[in-house]
Amino acid sequence: MYFRILHDELSGAASYLLADLESRAAVLVDPRGVDLAVLQAMLDEHRLRLHWVLRTHEHDSHGPGEAEALRALGAPCIVHQLPSGAGAILPFGNEHCRVLLTPGHTRSCLSFLWRDRLFCGDLFAVDACPDQPGPVWPEALWESATQNIFMLPAETLLFSAHAQSGHLTSSVLEQRCSHPWFAGASRDEFLARVRTSVLTNERLNHE
């Protein structure tokens, strides 16, 4: 297997390259159009063939130029919904990713499970996304985290689309026990924490 992280220090955004070196099959998770040349160089370095472009989520601020740039990579792009005909499993070479529906940060977020690693976008980095300071659908975010992600093995590694407090990687156990919104909270307490955070951000933005 082959695994690379492409991290932009200015925005905190991260993209991930997963590959099966035996078959030369690869997947990109959350690639950015501005990184197209670098992404192609990463693929060319090991003569990799891109099978899937996986997007955990998109924002309205991502204009049509972003989608056009990603289409230039020449692989099917999975975003917003499960791919028709492929089900929840996306094969690439001898490897595969499992697609999980995890709405909340936006209304149509996806997460991608590969081996012991889950690429979950900004599901837990809820205040680190420069395009959106809080979840669009808090009730769904609670369900996605507690009834989906937290049901995975505790040692499952979680990879974010943006660095949160300088960290891109955590684990199911870490988020379950110490996340500032989820840890030790009931559903009502979680929703109250979200409302408090959103109101605080709005107040700071108007000062």
> Which CATH number goes with the domain that contains 53?
3.60.15.10
Residue 172 has pLDDT above 70, yes or no: yes
- Return the closest-CA partner of residue 38 out of 73, 77, 2: 73
Mean pLDDT calculated for residue range 167-183: 93
Q: Please say whether the dihedral angle defined by the alpha carbons of residues 195, 199, 202 and 204, taken in this order, is positive or negative.
A: negative
What is the per-residue pLDDT for 61?
A: 62
Mean pLDDT calculated for residue range 89-107: 95
**Range of 155's domain?**
2-206
Determine what percent of the chain is predicted with pLDDT higher than 70.
Answer: 89
Mean pLDDT calculated for residue range 20-30: 98
b/e sequence 53-81, b meaning 16+ C-beta within 10 Å? bbbbbbeeeeeeebeebbeebebebbbee
Q: Looking at the 3D structure of the chain, how many domains does it have? A: 1
pLDDT band at 100 (very low <50, low <70, confident <90, very high): very high
How far apart (Å, rounded) are the C-alpha atoms in residues 121 and 58? 10
